[in-house]
Each structure stands twice: as C-alpha cells, then as structure tokens.
Amino acid sequence: MSLRCHVVSRWGKLKHALPAPIGANVGQTLSSVNPAIPAISSRLLSLSLLLLLAATAFSATRPHYGGVLRVEVRESIETADPPQTGRLAELTNAFTISEWEAGRRAVYSADANAAGGRPFLDGVEVHMGRPLQDQSIALNAGKADLVQLDPSEPQRTAGGHKAWTSGPMRLLVLLFGPRIEDPRVREALALAVDRSSIHRAMLQRQGEISSALLPQWLSGDAFLFPVVTDVAKARALLAGVPAAARTFSLGVSDPSHRPIADRIAINARDAGLMVFAAPPRANADARLVEVRIGSSDPALALSGVASALGLPLPPRTDSPEALYTAERALLDGFRVVPLFHLPDVYEVNPRVKGGPGISPLGEWRFENLWVEAGRP
C-alpha cells in the first residue's frame, strides 16, 4: 500500500488501485500504463501485494466510527435557551447545539472545528425528564444507549451492558426551611437518621456516609465531621419541645429519593418527631435535597454548594484550615444536615465504544465515544 502511494505521488498517473491481474505480470502492467515507470522487482511486488492484502483485511475489521449517541436523564431543564453551565453546556466543547426543546430534548451535532478535533460521534441526542424505570425500558428495547441508574439499584451487566460510575460527587442533605426555628428539633433529626442502615439496605453501599458538605477525596477533612446516630440524645433534646414544633413535613426534590425520605421519617418517629411526607411540589418544612459538587477546587466547590442550598456564601479560603472553618460555619445550627456523597451511575449499551464517557466529577466526555453500527 505504501509502495502504491509512492508511485502515485512520484508519477501522478496511478490514481486507482493496482490493476488486475496482480502477480508475475504486474511489472508489465505498470509499464503499459506509463513507460516512465521502471521495472519493479518481484520482491517489491510481493511486498506490495502483502501490504495491499493487509490493508484490505484492516479495512474490514477496523471500528466504524460515527453514530448518534442516545442519552436519557431524569433531570428536566426548562429554560427557554440551552443552559450555559452543567453537563449539557459541556457538550458544546465538541458539539454544536442543533435542536432545543425545553424540558424534553436536546440534539447536538459534531463540531468539525472543535479545539480537540472533530469528535468520533456524529451527534448526541439527550432526552430529559425521563423516569428511571422508563430509561431502563428504553435501554433494554434498544431505543437508548446511555441511561442513569439509581444508586439504590444494583449495577446490572445483563446482555453485555456496561456500568460507568463517577466519584462520589452528589451531595444528599436534609435542608430545613424557616418554619423549623428550634435548633433542638433540627439537631434531633440529625441524630435520629440511621445513615448506616440506609447506606447498606437502600443505597447498596454505593457512595459514602458523611456529615460534611465536601467529600473526603476533595477536601481531605470530611473525617473531622463525625457521623453520629444517637436516638437517646435526640429524645433528650426534644423533652421540652412542644408537640406542634415536633411535627413537620418532609419533601423530596427527586422522586427517586422518596424511599430514603420515608426511612428518615421512620427514624424520626423513634426519636419522638412526627415527620410526614409532603405531596410532590408542595412547600415542605424540610426537604431531602441533592446538590452536585461542581468543581475540583475545594473552595469553589464549597461556594457552589452553599449557593445551591441558599446558605451564606463562605469567604474565599486559601488554606485547609480556613476551608474547614468555613465549612463548619455553614453547618452550625443544623440548617443543613449532610447525609451521603453519591456517585453518578450509568448503564451503557454494549454498542457504545471508547468509554468510559464520564469523568470522576461526573462530567460528560463523549468526544472519544462512537456507536458501532451492525455490520452487513
């Protein structure tokens, strides 16, 4: 193959594959095309034939790059225009947005002028607002290539499916509203929650139990915020609290977290609190909220978490000690009670090649993926 390229580049006459027959008379065939081409030894002809056969075999077995990656997520982004931050915005590093249906669908096309070169995929199609059960059905029916898995579900590999997991970068917290004024009530619920039981039975031991806002891998000091379950102390705190103040509603921001909220309500009753589930979209007194860790810089990550939870923004910190102090200040008073740091988990169709397509922070890295089509 390289010999053919040399001849073409030197004489500019041979623009197609070597003419048949290829064998003992190839030298004569080349000379008949252009007398200026010198005779080629049989050894070189044998080499060229081997190279040609190798190239043919390679072209038949090499990956077929391209395809459209079909992604389903439970989040629903309702903005009129495509978001400027987050995972969808990150796709524009290698793709251009071609269709946007707020809350439903986003379509991206490969950007031939991307800074890192054109991605292997021809495009990405993201369907939003899809319940986890519907995502699983779509994947098994071959209508989706990449879907989310709830951390409470065991990672499945049936049918050759793969599982991609990020680091623990989703923070799950209890966030109290202004009606829960008595700090004893907030602390009592923090003491009543049996994190170990929830982590073992409901989260399949995925992620990490934590009383810190930032995960250990990021700040290095999460272990300084001890995880304590003490129902007796919780009952003692509530001894002088009126019954009305011990009764409140608990809502969830994500329906997939409802089983965890129900278990927390049971733990609360053991401590003398009356916690009941709030209807969807209701203005609950306390909420089970998930926040993404958005930066690998601890100071920026802490500011992002505080902003997402409606807490005062911490001062800019430039040392581990200052970071710890700022995080401790946000947790004083138990307005927010960290519970777990959870990973992103995706189930992937086996025809998706080149992964994993997520970073430890859960960022989408689809530029080096491709979807392998069926061969004829």
> pLDDT, tens digit, for every residue of 116-163?
899 999 999 999 999 988 999 999 999 999 999 876 666 555 668 899
Confidence of residue 42 (pLDDT cuts 50, 70, 90): low
Q: Is the pLDDT of residue 6 over 80?
A: no
> pLDDT, tens digit, for every residue of 63-87?
557 899 999 999 889 899 999 888 8
Give the per-residue pLDDT at 154. Answer: 60
Give the per-residue pLDDT at 59. Answer: 42
Give the per-residue pLDDT at 24. Answer: 45
Helix (H) / strand (E) containing 58? helix 42-61
Confidence of residue 38 (pLDDT cuts 50, 70, 90): low
Written out in words, the top-level CATH class of the domain with range 168-343 is alpha beta
Q: What is the dihedral of CA 235, 236, 242, 247, to 10 degrees?
A: -20
Fold of 68-145+349-371: D-Maltodextrin-Binding Protein; domain 2 (3.40.190)
Give the per-residue pLDDT at 277. Answer: 87
Residues of the chain with CATH 3.10.105.10: 168-343
Q: Name the nearest CA neighbour of 146 among 47, 238, 73, 39.
A: 73
Q: Name the nearest CA neighbour of 163 among 138, 142, 136, 137.
A: 136
Give the per-residue pLDDT at 22. Answer: 45
Q: Name the nearest CA neighbour of 94 among 80, 106, 108, 73.
A: 108
Q: Name the nearest CA neighbour of 198 among 345, 335, 340, 336.
A: 340
Give the per-residue pLDDT at 221. Answer: 94
Confidence of residue 53 (pLDDT cuts 50, 70, 90): low
- What's the chain's average pLDDT? 85
Give the per-residue pLDDT at 160. Answer: 81
179 in helix, strand or coil?
A: coil
What distance in Å separates the CA atoms of residue 374 and residue 137, rounded to the nearest whole number?
Answer: 21
What distance in Å separates the CA atoms of residue 290 and residue 2, rounded to the nearest whole number?
Answer: 57
Average pLDDT over residues 48-63: 55
Q: Which CA distances in Å does 178 have to 188, 287, 288, 310?
A: 17, 12, 15, 12
| DSSP character string of 214-258 | S-HHHHS-GGGS-----HHHHHHHTTTS-GGGGEEEEEESSGGGH
The half-sphere exposure of 23 on its side-chain side, counting CA atoms within 13 A, is 2
Q: What is the dihedral of CA 142, 144, 150, 156, to 10 degrees?
A: 30
Which residue's structure tokens are 């993926």? 369
Average pLDDT over residues 254-275: 94
User: Quick one: tokens of 36?
Assistant: 């200026």
> pLDDT, tens digit, for every residue of 295-333?
899 999 999 999 999 999 999 888 999 999 999 999 999
Share of the chain above pLDDT 90, in %: 66
Cβ neighbours, 10 Å, residue 62: 8
| DSSP character string of 326-351 | HHHHHHTTSSEEEEEEEEEEEEE-TT
In this structure, are residues 319 and 130 in contact, taking their beta carbons and an 8 Å threshold? no
Cβ neighbours, 10 Å, residue 172: 22
Which has more pLDDT, 314 or 253?
Answer: 314
Confidence of residue 178 (pLDDT cuts 50, 70, 90): very high
Residues of the chain with CATH 3.40.190.10: 68-145+349-371
Give the per-residue pLDDT at 360. Answer: 87
Q: Is the pLDDT of residue 1 over 50?
A: no
